[in-house]
Amino acid sequence: SYVLTQPPSVSVAPGKTARITCGGNNIGSKSVHWYQQKPGQAPVLVIYYDSDRPSGIPERFSGSNSGNTATLTISRVEAGDEADYYCQVWDSSSDHPNYVFGTGTKVTVL
Amino acid sequence: EVQLVESGGGLVQPGGSLRLSCAASGFTFSSYWMHWVRQAPGKGLVWVSRINSDGSSTSYADSVKGRFTISRDNAKNTLYLQMNSLRAEDTAVYYCARAEYGGGPYFDYWGQGTLVTVSS
């Protein structure tokens, strides 16, 4: 089955840039989506189709995807960005298509 | 405003059953494929099941296949998850989510979740 690997944690100072990676075999050939989840809350979509932002999501959130790594970038980090972030793809490569989530990354704002 | 509201969670003994519901509003429910995603305490998100817009096609994660059944009532704008033969490892918050399909499906709206605890 397809595996998406994320770093367990990323720490960043306010105002700086956080980069969260999502590694997968030839992930650049897939559409990658990103979710933000704050403690006790449901996930919220922040990036879809690698780099598109839903309405209401700040421009500080951006995404890219190439080769074996997709990246979520949060610019000018704010305290309110502290959350868990998950990448997600649809893997149709096997005989049992699956909706795969990454292992999750906890972003801590110092 | 799109709203998804889950209900039906609770404490159940191993081997027991539970039915979750997800009431949808603010969009044309019958036009969307719907999913269940779960999250064990302190763990990540795991896809559980999906159903197409008219209910004629379903799919399940291997971990729940044969034990869980997803269904929907488009007249009532409600999604269901019937969970049988529950195990301790099914303990999780269960979210219903609306999916957008195009270049690759993603979940654009989520409910607040309902907690299922399987324990004796």
Phi, psi of A107, rounded to the nearest 5 degrees: -95, 120
Q: Which residues pair with A74 in a beta bridge?
A: A18, A61
Q: Is residue A46 within 8 Å of A20, Cβ to Cβ?
A: no
Residues of chain B positioned with their CB less than 8 A from the CB of A102 = 44
pLDDT tens string, chain A, 110 residues long: the values are 899 999 999 999 999 999 999 999 999 999 999 999 999 999 999 999 999 999 999 999 999 999 999 999 999 999 999 999 999 999 887 667 789 999 999 999 99
Over residues B13-54, the pLDDT tens digits come to: 999 999 999 999 999 999 999 999 999 999 999 999 999 999
| pLDDT confidence tier of residue B102, bands split at 50, 70 and 90 | confident
Looking at A1-110, list the stretches that DSSP marks H as alpha helix, in order from N- to C-terminal side.
none
CB atoms B106 and A49 under 8 Å: yes
Residues of chain A positioned with their CB less than 8 A from the CB of B96 = none
Over residues B65-89, the pLDDT tens digits come to: 999 999 999 999 999 999 999 999 9
- Chain A (1-30) residues lying within 8 Å, Cβ to Cβ, of chain B: 30
Residues of chain B positioned with their CB less than 8 A from the CB of A33 = 104, 106-107
Gap between the Cα atoms of B70 and B68, Å rounded: 7
